[in-house]
Structure 1
Amino acid sequence: MEINDGEEEELEFSRNYFIAKELAGSGKKSSRKISDINVVDEQELRAVAANIKLKHEKEINSLVNSYKRLYPKWAFELRCGFGLLMYGFGSKKVLIEDFASTALTKYSVVVINGYLQSINLKQVIIALAEIWWDDLKTKRRTSSGVSSKVQQPFNSRSMDDLLAFLHESEVEENDSFVCVVVHNIDGPGLRDSESQQYLAQLASCSHIRIVASVDNVNAPLLWDKKMVHTQFNWCWYHVPTFAPYNVEGIFFPLILAHSSTAQSAKTAAIVLQSLTPNAQSVFKILAEYQLSHPDEEGMPVDALYTIARERFLMSSQVTLNSHLTEFKDHELVKTRRHSDGQDCLHIPLAADALEKLLSEINQ
C-alpha cells in the first residue's frame, strides 16, 4: 500500500507527538532551590543603585516640560468631574506633586503614598472629611445659603457615613472639591480588593477628585467596568518620565537582597511559582496549618493528605508524596519527628515571613 506525502507527514507528526509526551513524562524535575538564588547585602545593593547616573537629562527635561503644558487641561478635567490616571515608565511622583502645587493652588490636596507597605484608608478619609468640613465652614462665612447637617468629630463615624458626608454636602460652587493625590494606586498597601473598592467609592464622591499613578502593567485588573467608567471616571495619560524610583524603592524590598523577612518570602515565592497550581495549593494548606498551630512541631502527613483530598487536590498518597518530594528538593519543607514518633512537615520560615509568602502567592 502506497502512502502519499500528506499521510506520511501526518504519521510523522503523530509519532513526534507521542515521543514528546513520553519524554515530558520522564523528564527531570526542576532542580531550583532557595539556596541557589544568589543574593547580596541589601545596603550594598541600594548603595550601588543610588550611584547609577541618569542619562539623557536634557531630553528627559524637555519631555517633562511638555507634560507641564498639559496642566491647564488636567485641571479643567478635574473640575469637570474626571479623575486623572498617569502611567508610563519612570517615577511620576515629582510630576504629579508639581502639578498639584502649581495648578491646584485654590484647592485642598491630600497625598496618599501607595508604595508604602500598609496604609490606613479610614484615617485618610477622616482627614478628607475634616478638610472638607473646614472648607464648608469657610464658605458659610461668605455665603448665607450653605448649611451642614454633619457635626464633628469624625473619628467615631463609619466609612459609609464619612463617604456620604463627602458626597452629599451641598455647596453652591460646582468645582469646589478636595484633590486626592495617590502615588502608586496599585502599590502593596492598596492592592487588595477592599482598598480599591473604598478608593472607587471615594472617587465617586461629589467633592473629591483623584489624581493617581500606576506602574504595574496589570494594574487595570484591579478594577471592573463600573469602577473604571463610573466611579473613578479615569482620563488616562501616558507620561513616561524615565525618572528613577528613588523614593518608592526605599519602601519596597529588593528581590536580589537578603537578610529580611520580606526577602525570605520573596525567594520562596520565586521557587513556588515554578511548581504546578496543585502543588502550590497543597503548600498553602501546610502554611495555613503552621500559622494557626504555632506551638506544634509541624503538620502530620496524614492530616495534610486528608485535607488535600477533601479539597479534591489529589486522589492518592502517591500524588502527595510526589509533591512533598518536590517541596523537599526545593528546600521549601522539612520533616520533623514528633514527640510521639510521627513524622511532621514544617516550613522553615518565621510566622511573619510565612504570612508574606502566602500574600505573594495569592496575588
Structure 2
Amino acid sequence: MNPNGLDEESGYQKRRRKHKPTTVADPPRLERHVDRSARKKTAHMIIERSSLGCASDNEEESLFENVYSEVEDEEAAQEEVDSEEDISKIAPDTPSKRGKISASKRQKRSPTPPLDLSPHELYFSQNRPGRTKTSNTNLSSVALLDHEEYFELVRSYKSQHNDDLEYLQAEYAKSFNQWQFELSQGFNICLYGFGSKRSLLMKFAEYIDDRQKDDINKKVVIVNGYVSSMSLIKDTLQTIAAAVSDPAAGPPKLGSQPAGMLDSLVQLLDEDPSKHVTLVLHSIDGPTLRRPTVQAILSRISSFSQVKLIASANHPSFPLLWDSSIRSTFNFVFHDSTTFQPYTSEIDVVDEVNELLGRSSRRVGGKGGVGFVLKSLPEKARKLYEILIQEQLASMGGQSALDRRDDEDDNDSRSMNMAKSEAGIEFRLLYQKAVEEFICSTEMNFRTQLKEFYDHKMIESHFDFLGTEVISIPFKKDELETILEDLTS
C-alpha cells in the first residue's frame, strides 16, 4: 500500500472518530443520522479515488463491502423498528394488574358449556350461580297501611274460592245437631283447625238460640277473645253475671279482682239453678287469655253445670296452654273444623303490617284510629288528650296548627319534626294541668283516665336520664296537628 493511501485511510478514521457519538446517552435516531452522513462521505471518497486511480482493487472491494454491509444492517434494523411500531399501533401495551383488561384478552362467558366436559363438570357448569341482584328498595321506604286503605282493599277483593268455602261451611253446619247433643250431655266443645271459625260459631249460636224455648232463663253470651284488652276476663265475668241476674235489680256488683268476681258469680249461679248460660268464646288462645290464671278461671266457669262453653282455637299449639288438671276441668270434645276462612276479625292486619315494617310505635292505627277512639270516650278524657297534644306540640318547639295555620308552610313543619324521645310532657306537669282544668281531682283518678289511652296505645311513657316519667304521643307533628283540629272543631 502506498504512503498516500495510508495517509488518506488515517484521515478517514479521524473523520469517523470525529462524527462518532461521544456519549452513550445520545439518542439512537441522531446516531443513525451521523453514521449515514459519514458513509456518504466515504462513498464519495471511494468514487474520487477510483476515478483518479489512487487506490488498488483490493482496497476498493473491502471498502465497498464495509459500506454496503453497514447499510444492509441499518435497513434491517429500521425494518424491525417499523414492524414493532406497527404492532404497537394494532395491539396496545399490556396493562398493569390494577388496570382494565384489554379487549383481546377479555373472554366472554358462553352460556353453552363445552361438549368435552366430564359429567360432574358439566353438572356444575349448567348449575352455576348467576350474578347477584340487589334492590334499592327497603322497608323504611314503604308507605304505612292505614285502616281506610285496608278496608277499601278488603271490600274490593273477591275470592275465587267463595263457593267452595260456603260449601265447606254448609258441611260443618250439618253437625250442629251432634254438637248440641254433646253440650246437653255435660261436655264442652272446642273447634280447631286452619281458618277463622268465627262465622261458623255465630251460626251455631243462632242455631242454639232458635231452639231454646225459655229465652228468659237461658242466655247466649258471646266473648271475643282476640280483643287485646287487659280487662277482658273482668268484662266476661261481669257479662255472665248480668245474664244470670235479675234485670230489674240492675247490674250486679262483683268486685274489682277476677278471683273475687268469680266467687260472686258462683253465688249468683247457686241462688237460681234455673239460670243457664251458653258461653261462645272466640279464640280461647288469644293474646290476653293465654295467662295461666285466666285459663284457670275459664276452666272453672266451664265446670259449672249451668254454663256450657263453646270455644275456638286458632294456634296449632293451643293444647300446650293447659296441664292435665285444667284440661280435665274443661271437659272438651274437640272437633276439626278447618274452614280456610281468612282471619279478618282475629288479626288486626294494619297493626301486624306496621309491626313487620318496624313501625310498632304507630300501632294505634293512625290519626283515624285515634279519632275513632276519642269519639267513644267521655268529655273529660278528650280534654285531657287535647292538653297532652298541646303540651307535646309546645315541647317540639312550635305552635299548634290553629295558631300558625296561615303563616307556616309544609317545609317548615317537616323541618320542625322531632324524635319521640325528645318530645313529651312530665307526668307531674300533666297532672297539675289536669287538676287546673277540673278534669280530675286525685292522682288515682288521673291514672285511671290515662289507662284508657295506654290500652289503645295512644300514649307512651318513658323515663329520662334524670329518672322523671315523661308521657308522649307516638305520632309526628303534622298528625298531632290534625288530631288537635278534629278535637277543637
TM-score range, shorter chain: 0.5 to 0.7
- Give the aligned residue type for 2:145: E
CA distance in 1, matches of 2:201, 2:277: 15
| SS of match in other structure, 1:210 | strand
1:155-186 alpha-carbon deviations (Å, 9 max, x no partner): 44822422422553453x6xx62011111111
1:55 aligns with 2:160: yes
CA contact (8 A) 2:195 2:343 kept: yes
Q: Distance in 2 between matches of 1:104 and 1:76?
A: 14
* 8 Å Cα contact 2:241-2:252 kept in structure 1: no
Aligned mate of 1:115, from 200, 213, 226: 226
**Backbone CA RMSD of aligned residues:** 3.6
What is the distance in 2 between the residues matched to 1:182 and 1:252?
24
Gap change, CA 1:64 and 1:38, over 3 Å in 2: farther
Instruction: Please tell me the residue identity of whatever aligns with 1:204.
Output: S
Matches of 2:349 and 2:186, distance apart in 1:
32
Q: How much does 1:233 deviate? A: 0.8
Instruction: Give the counterpart letter for 1:162 in structure 2.
Output: S
Partners of 2:267 and 2:346 lie apart in 1 by: 32
Q: Deviations over 1:192-241 (max 9, x none)?
A: 222212111111122111111111112111111111122x1111111111
**Letter matched to residue 337 of structure 2:** V
Query: Aligned partners of 1:38, 1:219: CA distance in 2, in Å?
Result: 37
Counting matched residue pairs gives: 226
Which sits farther off after the overlay, 232-241 or 185-194? 185-194
Match of 1:131 in 2: 243
Q: Secondary structure at 1:189's aligned position in 2?
A: helix
Matched, 1:181 2:280: yes
Code of the aligned partner of 2:327: V
Partner of 1:42: 145
**SS state at 1:211 partner:** strand
Matched, 1:82 2:187: yes
| Alpha-carbon distance in structure 2 between the residues aligned to 1:45 and 1:252 | 7
Which stretches in structure 2 are left out of the alignment for 5+ residues? 1-137, 213-217, 365-459, 475-489
The separation in 2 between residues aligned to 1:45 and 1:244, in whole angstroms, is 14
Correspondence for 2:320 among 218, 221, 227: 221
1:4-83 residue pairs with structure 2 within 5 A?
A: 40-43=143-146, 48=153, 51-83=156-188
Do 2:139 and 2:357's aligned partners in 1 also have CA atoms closer than 8 Å? no
Residues 193 and 292 of structure 1: is their aligned pair in 2 closer, same or farther, counting only changes over 3 Å?
A: farther
Cα displacement (A) at 1:154: 2.7
Match of 1:281 in 2: none
Change (3 A) 1:247 1:262: same
Residues 39, 80 of structure 1: alpha-carbon distance in 2 compared, 3 angstrom cutoff: farther
Change (3 A) 1:60 1:68: same
What is the SS of the residue equivalent to 1:217?
Answer: coil
C-alpha displacement of 1:132? 1.3
1:242, distance to aligned residue in structure 2 (A): 1.4
- Per the TM alignment, residue 40 of structure 1 is displaced from its structure 2 partner at its CA by 4.4
Instruction: Decide whether the 8 Å contact of 2:191 with 2:313 is kept in 1.
Output: yes
Q: Which has the larger radius of gyration?
A: 2
Other-structure match for 1:91: 196
Contact 2:140 2:357 in 1 (8 A): no
User: What secondary structure, in the 3-state scheme, does the structure 2 residue paired with 1:247 have?
Assistant: coil
Residues 119 and 178 (structure 1), Cα distance of their counterparts in 2 relative to 1, 3 Å cut: farther
Deviation (angstroms), 1:72: 1.1
Picking from 156, 159, 165, the partner of 2:261 is 159
Alignment match, 1:318: none
Contact 1:85 1:236 in 2 (8 A): yes
Between the aligned partners of 2:350 and 2:188, the Cα distance in structure 1 is 26
Tell me, yes or no, if the aligned pair for 2:188 and 2:308 is still in contact at 8 Å. Answer: yes
Check if 1:235 corresponds to 2:333.
yes
Query: What TM-score, normalized to structure 2?
Result: 0.41
User: Aligned with 1:54: secondary structure?
Assistant: coil
C-alpha separation between the residues in 1 aligned to 2:183 and 2:196? 22
- Relative contact order, higher structure (CA 8 A, sep 6+): 1
CA distance 1:254–1:235, change in 2 (3 Å): same
Query: Is residue 244 from structure 1 mapped to residue 342 from structure 2 by the alignment?
Result: yes
Q: TM-score, normalised by structure 1?
A: 0.53
